[in-house]
A and B are shown apart, each in its own frame.
Chain A
Amino acid sequence: MQIIENAKVYDAIIVGSGAGGGMATKILSEAGMKVALVEAGPYFDPKDPVTMTQLKNPWDSPRRGASSTRAFGDFDMSWGDWSVDGEPYTQKDGSEFMWWRARMLGGRTNHWGRISLRFGPKDFKHRDVDGLGDNWPISYDDIKPYYDRLDKMVGVYGTNEGRENDPDGFFLPPPKPRLHELYYIKAARKLGVDVIPSRMSMLTKKLNNDRGVCFYCRQCGRSCNQYADFSSSSVFCIPAINGGQVDLHVNSMVKNVLTDEEGRATGVSYISKEDRKEYRLKGRVVVLGASACSTARILLNSKSSQHPNGLGNSSDNVGRYLHDSTGAGRSGFVPALMDQKTGYNQDGTGGMHVYSPWWLDNKKLDFPRGYHIEVGGGMGMPHYGFGWNISEYNKYLGLPTGGYGDKLRKDVKKFYGAFISMAGRGEAIARRENRCEIDPDVVDQWGIPVLRFNYQWSDYERHQARHMHQTFEEIIHAMGGTPLGDTPGKDQDYGLLRPGQIIHEVGTTRMGDDPKTSVTNKFCQLHDADNVFVVDAGPFTSQADKNCTWTIMALSMRTSEYIVEQFKQKNI
């Protein structure tokens, strides 16, 4: 098979079009650099009526939105999920890592929850607090200006609360709470659990003339045809492509970074999913934003005589320190929310309007790091699964269960909206042993060696999950409700979800000042090759009790502007 060389030499080749790659595409192309954007999936525009799922009714789907073909249901706007056809990943030592991959322009940002939380000052220097993990080589003050600009560039609703580790920003005003959220606020505050308005990247107010304003359909997971939520496709990639400086290469699965005799990058090699041939692109700078694990895979597959252990891997740290947010969730039945008056539109924005940032001091607890609580509930749109075993909730009222006919119809209405759910999302400690590496025995359908995961939780995370469930139960009780299901015990890791399941994986190319213990420097530049940068969550030295996307984008902006500066000074 002949390798097809593209004669063009790009100023930069960006791999991946999600939050990090999209931001880099915007910044580099607007600075006048000629960019190749390489995406493993097809083109996607949230406006396209052919692929749009927003505002579809459940009956438009013969399975009423069930998850037979898409893991998060028919209407979820992610092409690709826990499994991708012909692209397996494997596990070692009983590891149960779950890996979500979206293959489309904009990547996972097309369906993400839009929860947009800045990391706080403590999050960058948490080793100073508890002696665990490592400090970042940068501080909150280094990244604050980029968060500030990001808020104004992309748009996020929320409020300035003056909280020490949940920094203020430039927020659009939040929507008012829904009914079940008012119940949550009251109950949580009674217990001393802080509650503040959510911070979400949806436009409750006009941000610029290019994007619409939220019309409250609660379907951000379907990606907004008015561009009123942040998706990298609509907000970064499509405008950048229209700017004329960007060549988009879709359905292009990057295999490795090409390097020269000095060990510097000269371009990338990819397999076209359309003709199954290998192509090469040449570029002066390579920017990897393929996702923490995919970027690690590309680097580890980029072996050469100059980089025998894989590109950027002289320290043997690529793929290590992999960590995801912790997660646990619980629902409760709340009698005060029974027999609600319907007939008003309660949809609101996607996700929750209120949340609880971490409110305690870990010095007094048996786990080192915090978590926040996301709140669910309300009278949402029915989909497959609606009304399942509905009459069984009568047992909490001492009433007969089962039945049919008018009794059943009354039960459905009685219990509609009478539930609250809570999801804890917390910080895990990054550990060197938790990793992804190349499986020596397995290649995907493109002939590329795949990742093998080895990730084990520790008691730090298990104890945190136990605390989450205790808190959820207390809040449900304070609402006068009953937690559903049993309290998960030690045999179930206290309800701790599987690693990777929260889809916040970070840390695989972590940043640090010492090339012996880190992969990238504080500008997300490989220690081992100065014209290769990482703009996804790989460089995170540690996760916080926050979601990672806002920090991916702020860091990518900072890295991208550093690239522009270095490029113009001819340093790279």
Chain B
Amino acid sequence: MKRRDSLRTLLVGTVAGATLGSTTSCNTDPTTTPPTPETPPATGLYGRLPKEIERDQRIMAEIFLNEHELATIAVLCDIILPATDEAGSATDAEVPEFIDFIVKDMPYHQLPMRGGLMWLDIESNRRFNKTFITCTDAEQIEIVEDIAYPDEENKKPDMAPGIKFFSLIRNLTVTGYYTTRMGFDDLGYVGNRPNVWDGVPEEILADHDVELDAEWAAKCIDQSTRETIAEWDEKGNLLT
């Protein structure tokens, strides 16, 4: 068989070329079945294999968290990472949508998440006779203050499940937030794009008690020569 047919053969049936977005000569085949409108592309293009796309689509179609749980998560996420003057909030960064997906992708999060949310409502019912999301801001913060810090001396044993749950949702919120464009901008991460690395900038080095010694620096690439084809003498000395 032709080599270029090989991947397509593994694409049999489940996924049509169009589902993958812009296809290339490698496996474009206009005769493949078009995607059915009921199952739109799961996640856009991120280099998935057919079985991975199928899995993404299946997970996206599933429902685990209910509307009340998602509403509670949204309130908690924004308490954990509220908006600042410079950056949006966790819900601005669609963290609840991320958590909704991730507990289906990683089912071991499901029980701690569902149970923790229920614990939170029981606790707010006990204190204020209402669910967490119907509490006032001050009431919500009163509970959060009791579960947002470790209790190493076990002064509040009744809060232990809440502390554990808050740690989980804080971790998922931070991870979900900083893996978005908004998070990159807040963090100051400017990579993942073509560029030319030429060492730590001087102004950064000025803050640190380390330096690049001249001998080492002299061995490193002179970036003005990067497009010149390498040639060596017979001893391995680079000539270009």
Residues of A within 8 A of B (CB): 42-45, 48-53, 55-66, 68-69, 74-75, 79, 148, 152, 155, 157, 159-160, 168-179, 182-183, 185-186, 197, 204-209, 213, 215-219, 241, 248-251, 274, 336, 340-349, 379-390, 400-406, 408-409, 412-413, 416
Asked whether, in the complex, the Cβ of B47 is within 8 Å of the Cβ of A176, the reply is no
Contacts of A179 in B (CB 8 A): 200, 204-205, 208, 210
Asked whether, in the complex, the Cβ of A74 is within 8 Å of the Cβ of B149, the reply is no
Contacts of A173 in B (CB 8 A): 219-222, 238
| Selected contact of A42 from candidates B10, B43, B52, B228, CB within 8 Å | B10
Contacts of B22 in A (CB 8 A): 49-50
Asked whether, in the complex, the Cβ of B149 is within 8 Å of the Cβ of A408, the reply is no
Which residues in chain B, 26-67, are within 8 Å of chain A measured between CB atoms? 26-27, 42-47, 49, 52, 55-56, 59-60
Mask of B162-185 contacts with A, CB within 8 angstroms, 1/0: 000001001100111011110110
- Least Cβ distance of B172 to chain A in Å? 9
- The chain B residue sitting closest to A391, CB to CB, is B170
Query: Roughly how many angstroms separate A206 CA and B224 CA in the complex, as a whole number?
Result: 12
Asked whether, in the complex, the Cβ of A379 is within 8 Å of the Cβ of B189, the reply is yes
Contacts of A349 in B (CB 8 A): 197
Asked whether, in the complex, the Cβ of A387 is within 8 Å of the Cβ of B211, the reply is no
Query: Roughly how many angstroms separate A390 CA and B87 CA in the complex, as a whole number?
Result: 19
B13 interfacial contact with A, CB 8 Å: no
Q: A56-B46, A169-B236, A197-B219 are in contact. Are A342 and B190 (CB under 8 A)?
A: yes
Contacts of B101 in A (CB 8 A): 62-63
Q: A174-B219, A176-B217, A388-B171 are in contact. Are A49 and B24 (CB under 8 A)?
A: yes
Contacts of A208 in B (CB 8 A): 229
Query: Roughly how many angstroms separate A555 CA and B203 CA in the complex, as a whole number?
Result: 47
| Selected contact of B193 from candidates A43, A345, A346, CB within 8 Å | A345
Contacts of B193 in A (CB 8 A): 55, 217, 345
B155 interfacial contact with A, CB 8 Å: no
Contacts of B187 in A (CB 8 A): 342, 382, 412-413, 416
- Least Cβ distance of B208 to chain A in Å? 7
Asked whether, in the complex, the Cβ of A64 is within 8 Å of the Cβ of B199, the reply is no
| Selected contact of B197 from candidates A176, A343, A389, A406, CB within 8 Å | A176
| Selected contact of A345 from candidates B3, B87, B191, B216, CB within 8 Å | B191
| Selected contact of B175 from candidates A50, A183, A347, A386, CB within 8 Å | A386
Q: A51-B7, A405-B82 are in contact. Are A345 and B200 (CB under 8 A)?
A: no
Contacts of B87 in A (CB 8 A): 409
Contacts of B102 in A (CB 8 A): 62-63, 66, 384
Asked whether, in the complex, the Cβ of A57 is within 8 Å of the Cβ of B192, the reply is yes
Q: A170-B232, A344-B190, A412-B187 are in contact. Are A406 and B175 (CB under 8 A)?
A: no
Which residues in chain B, 78-121, are within 8 Å of chain A measured between CB atoms? 79-82, 84, 87, 98, 101-102, 105-106
Asked whether, in the complex, the Cβ of A217 is within 8 Å of the Cβ of B47, the reply is no
